[in-house]
């Protein structure tokens, strides 16, 4: 690609994405939250949401044709620029990217992490409404941190995330809605919170999951397919190595099988929840080794690229925020909760959700990470592939359309 941006460009701080049905700012109609409402319109059963009132406008913006059956695939961790970098390993995906309609990224939410993004994707709304604002966040009922992948020490999923999912809304209209995934995810906390309302088909074998999704598309309606391998390998081994490229090849083979197996006329839409950056060990800040970063901080939530600080005393807000900015300097953007909300980081925010969001938000810049040896394992602190912050590499995602 002639206009492929430099590594410095994709690692730059992206503008905060916004929510809505227009095209005049980053995000809006070209956003992860737009995908399922747009697909609902393409299926003839438009579902408006609290942040997207015109599903047909979203369908037009994303370029989705009308169809009686659709399969939406979410490939965890497959950022737009990560994919572009390794496009030679993915012939099927390359054939889609070469279509001018697909040769542009859309934006994911902030923080650019799976727990927040799944809520945004499944409901067509934003973290400020779903209450899913980070990998770990304050459980207001217990005063401790809850983790939202397994919903460990977190509220009940349906109590935390109260927005109806697009799947539920389509079910109400009498449309078939199916999920194909690993059996263990069928009734997981994350599924119950963000993806509830489908008939779940569980298979341990990847090929079986692909074929189950293809078979379900024979009946009019919507099928959701989740593929996690790219993210898993990226975290464990980094996204720039041959292991990640080999994983992308396998995923591309699976998606090509889906293309060959789904009925003619099926609309396939392939998206991701976030991208990934390579962590720089020289820019790793350990709270456990920096007393100045511990002072006044009661709990540390979020993750290495997007930290949420909960303070002992909110009266110390400005001094703690300034101290963190002084210590981290050019390696982080430090915002108070009110600054982040006013900038639209979480979209519209319900009052009940505000306490869940940290008093201070710290977005890592460049390839920096912020870890805590007092509570994290060595493995968690030294992940070679990370995400959650606001660079283009983390927040630009693909939205690839294939009408079979």
Domains of the chain: 7-278+391-403 (3.40.720.10), 281-384 (3.30.1360.180)
Give whole-number Cα distances, 293 to 283, 286, 309, 331, in Å. Answer: 15, 9, 10, 14
Q: What is the CA radius of gyration of the chain?
A: 20
Per-residue pLDDT tens over the stretch 26-63: 999 999 999 999 999 999 999 999 999 999 999 999 99
Please provide residue 281's backbone torsions phi and psi, each rounded to the nearest 5 degrees: -55, -25
Report CA-CA distances (Å) from 129 to 5, 17, 214: 34, 16, 33
Residue 377 neighbours by CB distance under 10 Å? 8
Give the other-Cβ count within 10 Å of 10's Cβ. 22
- pLDDT at position 205: 97
Extended strands (E) in 9-75? 69-75
> What's the angle, vertex CA 381, arms to CA 376 and CA 386, rounded to 5?
125
Question: CA angle, 357 as apex, 227 and 277 as ends, to 5°?
Answer: 40
pLDDT tens-place values along the chain, 404 residues long? 446 799 899 999 999 999 999 999 999 999 999 999 999 999 999 999 999 999 999 999 999 999 999 999 999 999 999 999 999 999 999 999 999 999 999 999 999 999 999 999 999 999 999 999 999 999 999 999 999 999 999 999 999 999 999 999 999 999 999 999 999 999 999 999 999 999 999 999 999 999 999 999 999 999 999 999 999 999 999 999 999 999 999 999 999 999 999 999 999 999 999 999 999 999 999 999 999 999 999 999 999 999 999 999 988 999 999 999 999 999 999 999 999 999 999 999 999 999 999 999 999 999 999 999 999 999 999 999 999 999 999 999 999 999 99
The reported pTM is 0.97
- β-pairing verdict for 399-403 and 267-271: antiparallel
The burial of 205, by beta-carbon neighbours within 10 Å (0-12 exposed, 13-18 middle, 19 or more buried), is given as: exposed
| Residues belonging to the chain | 404
């Amino acid at each position: 690609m002639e206009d492929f941006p430099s590594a410095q460009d994709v690692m730059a701080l992206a503008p905060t994405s916004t929510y809505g049905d227009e095209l005049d700012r980053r995000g809006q109609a070209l956003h992860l939250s737009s995908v399922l409402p747009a697909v609902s319109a393409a299926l003839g059963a438009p579902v408006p949401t609290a942040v997207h009132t015109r599903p047909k406008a979203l369908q037009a913006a994303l370029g989705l044709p009308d169809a009686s059956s659709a399969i939406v695939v979410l490939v965890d961790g497959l950022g737009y620029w990560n994919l572009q970098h390794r496009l030679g390993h993915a012939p099927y995906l390359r054939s889609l990217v070469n279509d001018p309609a697909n040769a542009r990224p859309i934006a994911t939410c902030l923080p650019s992490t799976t727990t927040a993004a799944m809520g945004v994707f499944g409901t067509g709304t934003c973290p400020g409404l779903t209450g899913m604002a980070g990998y770990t966040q304050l459980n207001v009922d217990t005063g401790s941190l809850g983790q939202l992948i397994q919903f460990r020490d977190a509220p009940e999923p349906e109590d935390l995330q109260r927005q109806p999912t697009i799947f539920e809304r389509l079910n109400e209209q009498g449309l078939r809605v199916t999920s194909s995934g690993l059996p263990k995810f069928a009734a997981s906390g994350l599924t119950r919170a963000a993806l509830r309302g489908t008939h779940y088909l569980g298979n341990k074998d990847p090929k079986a999951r692909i074929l189950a999704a293809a078979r379900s598309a024979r009946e009019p309606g919507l099928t959701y397919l989740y593929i996690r391998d790219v993210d898993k390998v990226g975290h464990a081994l980094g996204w720039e190595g041959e292991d990640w490229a080999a994983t992308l090849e396998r995923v591309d083979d699976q998606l090509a099988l889906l293309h060959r197996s789904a009925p003619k006329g099926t609309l396939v839409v392939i998206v991701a929840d976030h991208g990934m950056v390579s962590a720089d060990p020289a820019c790793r800040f350990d709270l456990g080794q920096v007393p100045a970063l511990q002072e006044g901080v009661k709990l540390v939530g979020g993750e290495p690229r997007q930290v949420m600080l909960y303070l002992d005393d909110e009266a110390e807000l400005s001094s703690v925020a300034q101290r963190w900015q002084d210590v981290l300097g050019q390696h982080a953007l430090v915002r108070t909760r009110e600054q982040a909300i006013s900038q639209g980081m979480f979209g519209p925010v319900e009052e009940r959700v505000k306490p869940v969001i940290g008093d201070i938000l710290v977005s890592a810049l460049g390839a920096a990470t912020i870890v805590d040896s007092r509570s994290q394992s060595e493995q968690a602190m030294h992940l070679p592939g990370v995400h959650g912050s606001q660079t283009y590499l983390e927040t630009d995602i693909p939205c690839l359309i294939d009408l079979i």
